[in-house]
Structure 1
Amino acid sequence: MQGEGPSTGRSCCFLRLGGCNLTCSWCDTPYTWDWTGRSESGVAHRPADELHPMTAEEVSARLVAFGTGLVVVSGGEPLNQQSRLLPVVDAVRAAGAEVEIETNGTVAPAPELSAAGVRFNVSPKLAHSGIAAERRLVPETLKAFNAVAGTCFKFVCSRTDDLAEVEQVVRDHALENIWIMPRGQSPEEITDGLRALADPVSARRWNLTGRLHVTLWGNQRGV
């Protein structure tokens, strides 16, 4: 079930890709890239346990077999593998499903992928990620995403003070379709975050999203 953003609550199938070009301290999927325990979890995950090489044909067949109307591609950073991802997107789209790609917004989408009818859920990182600004905010890449119809920009906020930083990023890069999501790995954290953010987000005429999968099932994988 898609738990975040404009498609919250929709039945879907996830394709999660390994590897990321960023190293956010609070990353909620460190098992896709953190092999040394540098994230807040402190766990050094094993690539042999987490990464399972498959051909585009194998991946496409499994996704189509799920029979959902929506496929969400996430990571890690899926656009690091977009040349290999394109035939998968084409196959899924040909089977009648929609495709959303979750991305950190630092890798520009190839024209072929932008033209394939996918929606990009772009999540630019804020200073609390621990990543230097020049690595997490790439002006030309954000401009490219902003030009793709249907793109949303989703910011993870730890506290209401983060909204001022979001305002600055939105203003600097002329971003549209803004979504704010509370940071949290438990139902209680998500609920508290939503309550704290609701009024200031509404006052800015932005959109607010929770993390429905966390609210329903807690901090679990594969839901």
Structure 2
Amino acid sequence: MTQPRPVASGVSMYDPASSLIVAECFGVEVPTFQGEGPSCGHPALFIRLSRCNLTCAKCDTKYTWDWSRFDPHKESTRRTVADLVAWAASSPVELVVITGGEPLIQQARLVPLVRELLAAGKRVEFETNGTIAPVPELVAAGVRFNVSPKLASFGVEEGRSIVPSALEAFAASGRAVFKFVASSVADLDRIAELAGIHQLSPVWVMPEGSTAQAVTETTRALADAVAARHWYFTARLHVLAFADARGR
């Protein structure tokens, strides 16, 4: 019998202490795609972790943190690293997206998960708000960080959502892209300011919108200005394809 690999803390991935607080996992039973950023359109599995350190008004996954509207006992469960690895390994899909909420809140327990996913032949993308710098063990070959700093227009104070030291750590890692949600050309000016101050590159812009019509309208409003800045532009494929249905 193969022995479990030890993790940095000395805890086996099979130990209940290595469990994570998970909101949902999807992509195995009903296949789906990564809907945003550099891997947009790639078949993907999603592990959505519960909890967030921000309270953005325009967040589309409030069931991971807004306990005034949602019941945390119904919206989250604990799953061991071994269970999550077995779930992902049951699919031939290579890409595993770890998202939230804010996944790096639980990053100490993510180290063994990522290690085992990579060993199983997967590649990993984190969707993070960029307020928490990654531990060195997560900055590894086969791992990418899609860092999405939240602007004031997203309904959050930038004093909380823009953390210079964390952004600069992601930039220095060589494994991050910076994906900003924008709703207006004025947002692009703010993105350019942040990118210049913190040396964020490459920059991706994603149009805000939770319906196909809204995404299309915002895309058309921003396209010329994004192209003029020589930035990357990403759709919201899950909104266009699945009407922003949960679990797709």
**2:54 matches 1:17:** no
2:221 to 196, 214, 221: 196
Matches within 5 A, 1:170-181: 170-181=195-206
What residue number does 2:20 align with?
A: none
2:146 to 105, 121, 145: 121
CA distance in 2, matches of 1:83, 1:61: 20
CA distance in 2, matches of 1:132, 1:201: 24
**2:113 matches 1:96:** no
| Structure 1 residue 67: Cα displacement | 2.2
TM-score, length-scaled by structure 1: 0.94
Deviations 1:115-173 (A, max 9, x none): 35310000001011332222111111111000122310000011122111111111111
Q: Which runs of 5+ in 1 are unaligned?
A: 37-43
| Structure 1 residue 204: Cα displacement | 0.2
| Residue identity in the other structure for 1:33 | W
**2:152 matches 1:132:** no
CA distance in 2, matches of 1:121, 1:147: 14
Contact 2:139/2:175 (<8 A) preserved: no
1:31 to 45, 56, 63: 63
What residue number does 2:175 align with?
A: 150
Q: Which runs of 5+ in 2 are unaligned?
A: 1-32
Which structure is higher in strand share?
2
Contact 2:205/2:232 (<8 A) preserved: yes
SS in 2 for 1:68: coil
The count of residues paired between Structure 1 and Structure 2 equals 216
CA distance in 2, matches of 1:210, 1:28: 16
What residue number does 1:70 align with?
A: 95
Aligned-residue sequence identity (percent) comes to 50
TM-score, length-scaled by structure 2: 0.85
